[in-house]
Amino acid sequence: MKNIRKIALILFSVLSAIVASAQGYPYRTIENNAWHAGEKLKYKVYYESLLTGKVNAGTATLEVKNSNRLFNGREVYHIVGIGKSNSAFDFFFKVRDRFESYVDKQGIFPHLFIRRTREGNYRKEDDVTFDHKNLKVTSRTETKKITRYIQDIVSASYYARTLSADTLKEGDNISVNFFLDDSAYVSVIQFQGRQIVETELGKFRCLAFKPMVVTGEVFSNPYPMTLWITDDENKLPILVKSAVIVGSVKMELIKYANPRNPIEAKLD
């Protein structure tokens, strides 16, 4: 009987190890009622300065796709952001940007971030792999320790859209960790209250935020930007206005397709 119990104990231990291995690392689960695969957003970008006046500088698009790729056996969304200056604006400042993020469907955190940036004479290409289990991130040039579930600059905005705004009060702060250019940052997003915003698409009830940005060649003020998102389940980014070192930039939503929920924030 003792031998049988020993064998049973060994078998139980082996089966437990197999089950644990099959389940893998216990990643978090985030409830996401804000967006899904198929959502497409298109923005018009304006630039204004004393030298140029207000000009239509280009367009930006964001699209969420399903992906056949698996990361550690986990399904992901493939989110692609593209920014492009108009041909008339190219002479002044040519922009050809492409950002891609492979975002965990259940945990809403990035597994892979791809960056292809061309802005004037500036060039930047990078491929960043996130290992949230072992708390490290590997780019083309560095391997660094990270906090678990740190975001990239694309996934950060989609993660933020999953957060509830029901209890937010004016002046409240939300912190989001993100990784960019081989460095980890904490962006403190200040809630500015609920406002009515009018755009090319109509009037919307919105939540207004001021995200903290990295100061340097583009921004001299850590809070130069105001972002308005729809005050409904979608939390669609409707409008962005930002001061830059020379002039100001405005990005306005002009077309959307396949939102997850009805746009209840639209007033007309």
Stretch 97-115: mean pLDDT: 98
Q: Is there a domain that residue 241 lies in?
A: yes
Q: Is there a domain that residue 17 lies in?
A: no
Please provide the average confidence, as pLDDT, over all residues in the chain: 87
Per the structure, the complete domain to which residue 157 belongs is given by 25-257
For residue 117, give both structure tokens: 């940036």
Q: Is there a domain that residue 4 lies in?
A: no
C-alpha distances in angstroms, 187 versus 133, 138, 177, 207? 23, 21, 6, 18
Q: Is there a domain that residue 154 lies in?
A: yes
Confidence at 214, pLDDT banded by 50, 70, 90: low
- In sign, the C-alpha dihedral spanning 66, 124, 57, 89 is negative
Residue 224 confidence (pLDDT): 75
Residue 223 confidence (pLDDT): 66
Q: Is there a domain that residue 267 lies in?
A: no
Q: Is there a domain that residue 18 lies in?
A: no
Confidence at 13, pLDDT banded by 50, 70, 90: very low
Confidence at 24, pLDDT banded by 50, 70, 90: low
**How many residues does this entry show for the chain?**
268
Residue entry with tokens 């590997």: 138
pLDDT at 17 over 90: no
**Structure confidence by residue, pLDDT tens digits, 114-148:** 999 999 999 999 999 999 999 999 999 999 999 99
Q: Work out how many domains the chain is built from and give that number.
A: 1
Residue 50 confidence (pLDDT): 73
Residue 37 confidence (pLDDT): 98
Q: Is there a domain that residue 10 lies in?
A: no
Percentage of the chain lying above the pLDDT 70 cut: 87
Q: Is there a domain that residue 13 lies in?
A: no
How many angstroms separate the CA atoms of 228 and 235, rounded?
9
Residue 10 confidence (pLDDT): 40
What's the whole-model pTM score? 0.86
Q: Are 20 and 13 in contact (CB under 8 A)?
A: no
How many angstroms separate the CA atoms of 165 and 188, rounded?
15
**Structure confidence by residue, pLDDT tens digits, 36-76:** 999 999 999 999 887 777 889 999 999 999 999 999 999 99
Could you tell me the CATH number of the domain that includes residue 117?
Answer: 2.40.360
Percentage of the chain lying above the pLDDT 90 cut: 73
